[in-house]
Amino acid sequence: MNVAFEGALVGLAIAAVLLLGDYVMLRKLAAERAKKHHKTLVEFDPTERARLRSVATFCIILPIGLGAAFWLIWG
C-alpha cells in the first residue's frame, strides 16, 4: 500500500474518533444543561457550535497532513 495513502487512512481514523468523541461529550453537556433549565429541546450554544466547527476543520486537514508526513518520513 502506498505510504501516503496509509498515512491518510490513519489520519482519517484519528479524525473520526476525535470528532465523534467531541460531539458525544458536547451533546452530553448540552443535555445536562437542558435538564438543569427544565427544557425538552437540547441545543448547542454558539460556543459549542464554533468548537465543533473548528474540530471538524482540523479533522478535514488531518488526513492530508498525516499523508504528507508519512510520505516525507517513510516515502
Where along the chain do its domains lie? 3-74
For residues 29 and 25, give the distance between their C-alpha atoms in angstroms, rounded to a whole number: 6
CB 69 within 8 A of CB 5: no
Extract the C-alpha cell encoding 69. Answer: 508526513
* Band (34; pLDDT cuts 50, 70, 90): very high
Instruction: Determine the average pLDDT of the residues in 19-24.
Output: 98
CA nearest neighbour of 48 among 17, 32, 21, 25: 25
Helix (H, G, I), strand (E, B) or coil at 45: coil
Instruction: Determine the average pLDDT of the residues in 40-49.
Output: 94
**pTM of the prediction?**
0.88
CA nearest neighbour of 41 among 30, 49, 51, 50: 30
Name the average pLDDT for the chain. 96
For residues 10 and 73, give the distance between their C-alpha atoms in angstroms, rounded to a whole number: 15
Instruction: Determine the average pLDDT of the residues in 21-48.
Output: 95
